[in-house]
């Protein structure tokens, strides 16, 4: 696979754009050339080695997400890097909510133990009570969380 | 009792004697103890231990790896906890924790792993390097490399570059490496304890083919390793042709065999099938199901 180095302007950033810019500061950005437009974060200390390498690589660095049309679909892992930079889009869920979410299901309002002041239909970072990042959701009008992506993907993918 | 081909059993009789073979076959039929390695890129050993014990896990430390634990008891499947999904630990056999530990890569070094999938050793090395420097992982198998990618992502590794290629051509990367991990493709006799059907696939042809591949990989490793650089060679098979005899070839090429830091394991064979080996080979270590309660494993440290 081939990759090109790009600037952050090439990525259509969504409502976590400000946080992503902060995360991306420490990295060079690589965009896969071809049908799939996957974006990887290359740490500065890996860059020297990367520049010396034969470029037919499979992947390098940290998988940040994929550009699909005018959307940037962030990876389940990038959310974890966004969390420390965010103070207004977080939702904490209890153990029951955690289990459901990691099974790919939505979370009922009653499983939410606390949350930031979040507007309806906004994307949210879902955490458990130990502050582990579980995935990304959308705050519905009802106060329930719609599952967008979650770490249970690693298990479901195996099946 | 585990099933092995008649060919394999005949060889074990020659190498271990009748009693040793009986013990090996019996032990190979037992269940392997599950083990995990803590990913300190994401959580401390102390914190994860506390969390898992609260969930009803009974953990016993693996003596040769500070980050390693045997899971003696657990209420939940080891591969389905939130901590697993969060990348706080890797399910890895206890012997597979040895190579990265022995290689001891440092932050900032440039490391090559020649058969990197599914990523247990690569993610361990990256953890030891504190995600700094570079680890180049190669694997030829497209299905296995997808698994490697998934594990790299889950564990939060970001100092890696992955190639889907035959590591015998590692010179094409144009880099000289500080350290190399070669957990070589092998006949997998030692895996019977984990995967019983493996014993029925042991044939002379398989051993000869693997031995040829291993020698080729060692030859390439010598070319791409910096002078003074270290390589850890390991397999999960018993055949001396894939272990001690590969080291003999490595010595002929210019490698020196170094003493391992490891205080466990048994000495390797000195003259398997009547072949007298250089004394240096005795610095390698073997693990046996009937002696150590682990999968079968061979490990050696080499210096250029």
Please report the pLDDT score of residue A53 as a whole number. Answer: 82
Band (pLDDT 50/70/90 cuts) for residue B2 is confident
CA pseudo-torsion sign B77, B82, B83, B89: positive
Burial B248-259 (b: 16+ CB within 10 A, else e): bebbeeebebbe
Please report the pLDDT score of residue B280 as a whole number. Answer: 96
Span B210-243, pLDDT tens digits? 999 999 999 999 999 999 999 999 999 999 999 9
B161 and A132: CB-CB below 8 Å?
A: no
- When scoring B41, B82, B145, B166 by the number of chain A Cβ atoms within 10 A, the one with the most, hence best to mutate, is B82
B163 and A56: CB-CB below 8 Å?
A: yes
More confident residue, B3 or B206: B206
Span B63-116, pLDDT tens digits? 999 999 999 988 889 999 999 999 999 999 999 999 999 999 999 999 999 999
B175 and A52: CB-CB below 8 Å?
A: yes
Tell whether the model's pLDDT for residue A159 goes beyond 50: no
B161 and A46: CB-CB below 8 Å?
A: yes
Tell whether the model's pLDDT for residue B40 goes beyond 80: yes
Taking 3-state DSSP, the helix, strand and coil percentages for chain B, each rounded to the nearest 5, stand at: 45, 20, 35
Tell whether the model's pLDDT for residue A157 goes beyond 80: no
The per-residue pLDDT of chain B, averaged, comes to 95
- When scoring B134, B140, B150, B167 by the number of chain A Cβ atoms within 10 A, the one with the most, hence best to mutate, is B134
Span A13-56, pLDDT tens digits? 988 999 999 999 999 999 999 889 999 999 988 988 888 887 77
C-alpha pair distances (Å), B119 with each of A7, A152, B183:
30, 19, 11
Find the mean pLDDT for residues B173-179: 95
The verdict on A133 touching B (C-beta cutoff 8 Å) is: yes
% of chain A beyond a pLDDT of 70: 98
Tell whether the model's pLDDT for residue B302 goes beyond 80: yes
Give CA–CA dist B189/B203, Å, rounded: 10
Asked if A58 contacts B140 with a C-beta cutoff of 8 angstroms, the reply is no
Token pair recorded at residue B234: 């390991």
Find the mean pLDDT for residues B36-62: 97
Positions of B marked catalytic: 236
Return the bridge partners of B303, or none: B230, B256
The verdict on A155 touching B (C-beta cutoff 8 Å) is: yes
The verdict on A57 touching B (C-beta cutoff 8 Å) is: yes
Q: A153 to chain B: nearest residue by CA? A: B85
Find where tokens 């180095």 sit.
A5
Which among B153, B158, B174 is the nearest to A53, CB-wise?
A: B174
Give CA–CA dist B252/B239, Å, rounded: 20
Which residue from B143, B31, B182 is spatially nearest to B93, judged by alpha carbons? B31
The continuous run of DSSP H or E covering B68 comes out as: strand B68-73
Lowest mean pLDDT among A155-159, B114-118, B256-260: A155-159
Please report the pLDDT score of residue A158 as a whole number. Answer: 55
ipTM confidence: 0.94
Span B105-158, pLDDT tens digits? 999 999 999 999 999 999 999 999 999 999 999 999 999 999 999 999 999 999
Which residue from B158, B135, B38 is spatially nearest to B86, judged by alpha carbons? B38
Span B7-31, pLDDT tens digits? 999 999 999 999 999 999 999 988 8
Return the bridge partners of A38, or none: A66
- When scoring B139, B140, B161, B164 by the number of chain A Cβ atoms within 10 A, the one with the most, hence best to mutate, is B161
Band (pLDDT 50/70/90 cuts) for residue A154 is confident
Q: What is the pTM of this model?
A: 0.96
Find the mean pLDDT for residues A89-97: 97
Q: A61 to chain B: nearest residue by CA? A: B158
């Amino acid at each position: 696979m081939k990759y090109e180095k790009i600037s952050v302007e090439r990525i259509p950033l969504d409502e976590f754009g400000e946080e992503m810019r902060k995360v991306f500061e420490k990295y060079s950005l690589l965009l896969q050339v071809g049908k799939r437009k996957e974006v990887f974060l290359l740490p500065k200390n890996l860059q020297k080695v990367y520049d010396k390498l034969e470029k037919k690589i499979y992947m390098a660095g940290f998988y940040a997400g994929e550009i699909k049309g005018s959307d940037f679909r962030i990876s389940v892992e990038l959310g974890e890097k966004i969390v420390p930079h965010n103070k207004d889009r977080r939702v904490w869920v209890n153990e029951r909510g955690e289990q459901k979410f990691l099974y790919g299901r939505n979370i009922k309002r009653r499983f939410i133990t606390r949350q930031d002041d979040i507007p309806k239909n906004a994307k949210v970072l879902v955490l458990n009570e130990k502050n582990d990042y579980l995935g990304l959701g959308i705050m519905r009008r009802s106060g329930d969380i719609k599952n967008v992506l979650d770490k249970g993907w690693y298990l479901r993918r195996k099946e | 009792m585990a099933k092995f081909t008649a060919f394999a059993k005949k060889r074990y009789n020659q190498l271990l004697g009748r009693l040793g073979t009986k013990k090996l076959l019996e032990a190979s039929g037992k269940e392997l103890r599950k083990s995990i390695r803590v990913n300190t890129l994401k959580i401390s050993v102390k914190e994860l231990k506390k969390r898992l014990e609260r969930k009803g896990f009974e953990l016993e430390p693996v003596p040769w790896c500070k980050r390693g634990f045997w899971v003696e008891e657990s209420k939940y499947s080891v591969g389905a906890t939130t901590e697993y999904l969060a990348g706080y630990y890797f399910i890895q056999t206890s012997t597979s924790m040895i190579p990265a530990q022995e290689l001891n890569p440092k932050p900032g070094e440039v490391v090559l792993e020649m058969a990197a999938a599914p990523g247990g050793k690569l993610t361990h090395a990256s953890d030891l390097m504190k995600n700094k420097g570079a680890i180049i992982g190669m694997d030829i198998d497209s299905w296995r490399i997808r698994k490697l990618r998934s594990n790299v992502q889950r564990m939060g590794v970001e100092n890696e570059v992955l190639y889907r290629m035959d590591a015998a051509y590692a010179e094409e990367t144009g880099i000289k490496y500080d350290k190399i991990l070669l957990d070589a493709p092998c006949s997998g006799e030692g895996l019977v304890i984990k995967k019983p059907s493996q014993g029925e696939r042991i044939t002379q042809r398989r051993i000869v083919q693997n031995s040829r591949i291993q020698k080729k990989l060692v030859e390439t490793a010598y070319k791409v390793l910096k002078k003074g650089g270290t390589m850890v060679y390991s397999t999960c098979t018993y055949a001396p042709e894939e272990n001690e005899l590969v080291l003999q070839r490595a010595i002929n090429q210019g490698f020196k065999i170094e003493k391992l830091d490891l205080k466990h394991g048994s000495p390797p064979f000195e003259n398997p099938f009547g072949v007298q080996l250089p004394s240096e080979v005795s610095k390698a270590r073997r693990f046996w199901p009937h002696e150590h309660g682990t999968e079968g494993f061979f490990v050696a440290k080499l210096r250029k």
